[in-house]
Structure 1
Amino acid sequence: MKILLTAGPTYEPLDPVRFIGNRSTGKMGYALAEAFAAAGHTVTLVSGPTALAVPTHPAIQTVHVETAAQMYAAAAEAAPTAQIWVFAAAVADYRPAEVSPEKIKKAGDTLTLTLVKNVDIAATLGETKRAEQFSVGFALETNNEQAHALDKLRRKNFDVVVLNSLRDAGAGFGHDTNKVTLLTADGVVTTSDLLPKSAVAQDIVQFVLARYAQYA
C-alpha cells in the first residue's frame, strides 16, 4: 500500500533569521516511516525541519518542507493515491501575518506580533477522505486527554487517534522513548508501555494495519 506520513515541526518565519516553531524532533514520525516500510509498504514522508538523518530505506520518499502551507501542499499531492494517512507532524496552528524581508531590529520594550491561522492539514484533507482510505492522527495533550483526543478524532475524520500525554514521564517531544494510547471511534482503547520510539512505532503500525484490514 501507499502511506502518506507527516512528521516533525513546521517553522513559520518572522524574518530571515527568526521563526515560530515547536519542540518536535520528528523521531516518532521517522520511526513510523521505517516501520511501515519494513512491513512492505511505500511511504511518502513529508518532513518538517529536523536534525534526523534522511531515511535510506528504498520504500521511503522524503519530501522536505518548512512551513505549514508547504506541508499541506505536499500532503495534498500525495493524499489521493495513498490508502493510509498518518498525521504525526506537530504543525504550527498560527503563522505571522507579515514576514519582514529584513531582520527585525530591537526597538522598545515590547514587540507585538499579529498571527493568522494556518490551514488545518488533517481536517482539510479529512473532508476529501474516501471510504476506502484510513486516517490516523496524533494528539499531544496536557489535561482531559482522552476527551480532547476523541474530539479531535471526530472533527478531523480520523479512524484512529494516537494520544500522547505530557503527564507521562519519558513521553512526547525530545525523548527517545514514548508511551501512547490508541483510540478509535468505536471505543477501542489500547495503551502501550514506555518503550523506545522504534518499538512504539511497530506497535502503532501493527494496530493501524489490523484496523485497516477490517475496512478494506
Structure 2
Amino acid sequence: AMNTNMFENFAVQENIERLVLRGYSIVQPVEGELACGGCGGGRLAPLDVIFAEAKSLLSPQTELKGIRLLVTAGPTREAIDPVRYLTNYSSGKMGYAVAQAAVEQGAGVTLVSGPVTLPAPAGVKIVQVTTAQEMYAAVLSLYPQMDVVVKAAAVADYRPARVQETKIKKDGEMILSLVRTPDILAELGKYKQNQVLVGFASETDNLRENALAKLFPKNLEMIVANDLTEDGAGFNTDTNVVKLYFKDGQEKQLARMSKLAVAREIISEIKRIMNIAKEIS
C-alpha cells in the first residue's frame, strides 16, 4: 500500500519484477482513495483478495495437474507508421488473472500476451507479441499441444492496409484504409479436436445476443461476457461483472468481484466442463 507515484516508480516496479522472478506471489494494489487524500493506484487490495491468495498458496490445488492451458491477454497494436498505431483500452488484467488462477490449480500455463505493463504470474510461460498477426501465429502454433484455451485478449479487429515506412506528416486530413485481422477464436473452433475453448465478449449493448452469436459459430464450450457500460466492469479496472454462457444452454451471472475472483470462477467452470466430458467418454 503506497502513494501512486511511489508504486509506479521505476525502482519499485523493478523490485516487484525481481520478486516475481524469484517465485514470490504478489497481491497487486488496487485503485481508490489513498491515505494522502488523492485517488489512484496503490491502495491496499481488499482483505478477502489477500486472504484468498494466502489460502491458495498455503493449500495448493492440483486438480489441473497435467493439463496444458493457453491464455491470451492484453491488446494488440497495429502500426500506422513508425510512431503511430491502432489499439484498444485492454490492460491485460483479466487474462493475467486467468493465468494465475489456472496455475493455482496445477495447470501448465502458457500466456500469449500483447503489450501490457503487468508482471507475469509466477510459474507461467509467457510469449510476448505485438500485432494480431503475431498473436494468431503464436496461438495457432501452440494450439495442438493444448487441452484448454482461454481467449481473453482484446485483439484488434482491423489493421491499416498499408504501413507507412516513414512518419506521416500533419497535412490536412488523414484517411486510413483498414482491413480485417484474423479471427483467432474462429480458427481455433474450426480446427478443434478435444480442446475446451473459452472466449470473451465485451459489449456495450445486446449482451446476451452478441455473446451467443459468438458461442455457437466459434464452437466454444463457454463464453465470458461483460457489459462495458456497467460500473466496475470492463477494461482497466481491478473488478469485473460478467455473465457466463454455456453451449448446453446454461447461463450464470456473477456479481461484481475482483478479476482474480472472476478468473477462479472461470477455472472452476472449466474443471466442471472437463469432468462432464470425462464422464461421457
> TM-score normalised by the shorter chain: which range applies?
over 0.9
Q: 1:16 aligns with which of 63, 68, 82?
A: 82
Pair 1:2 & 2:68 matched: yes
Pair 1:211 & 2:261 matched: no
Structure 2: any 5+ residue segments left out of the alignment? 1-66
Q: Deviations over 1:109-151 (max 9, x none)?
A: x110000110000001210001x21100000011111111011
Pair 1:118 & 2:184 matched: no
Partners in 2 of 1:27 and 1:193 — Cα distance? 18
Pair 1:34 & 2:96 matched: no
Q: Deviations over 1:154-191 (max 9, x none)?
A: 12111100001113211000100001111012111111
Q: 1:185 aligns with which of 225, 242, 247?
A: 247
Name whichever structure is richer in helix by fraction.
Answer: 2
- Whichever residue aligns with residue 105 of structure 2, its letter is A
Q: Percent identity?
A: 47
Q: 1:105 aligns with which of 169, 172, 179?
A: 169
Structure 1: any 5+ residue segments left out of the alignment? none
Query: What is the aligned-residue RMSD (CA, Å)?
Result: 0.8
Partners in 1 of 2:140 and 2:150 — Cα distance? 13
Partner of 2:136: 72
Q: Where do 4+ consecutive residues of structure 1 move more than 4 Å?
A: none
Partner of 1:167: 229
Higher RCO (C-alpha under 8 Å, 6+ residues apart): 1
Partners in 1 of 2:154 and 2:75 — Cα distance? 5
- Whichever residue aligns with residue 39 of structure 1, its letter is Q
- Whichever residue aligns with residue 89 of structure 1, its letter is A
Partners in 2 of 1:3 and 1:50 — Cα distance? 20
Partner of 2:263: 201
What is the TM-score when the length of structure 2 is the normalising length? 0.74
What is the TM-score when the length of structure 1 is the normalising length? 0.96
The alpha-carbon deviation at position 54 of structure 1 amounts to 2.5
Aligned length: 212
Pair 1:25 & 2:91 matched: yes
Partners in 2 of 1:39 and 1:179 — Cα distance? 23
The alpha-carbon deviation at position 213 of structure 1 amounts to 1.5
- Whichever residue aligns with residue 8 of structure 1, its letter is G
Partners in 1 of 2:264 and 2:216 — Cα distance? 25
Partners in 1 of 2:93 and 2:134 — Cα distance? 20
Partners in 1 of 2:120 and 2:262 — Cα distance? 20
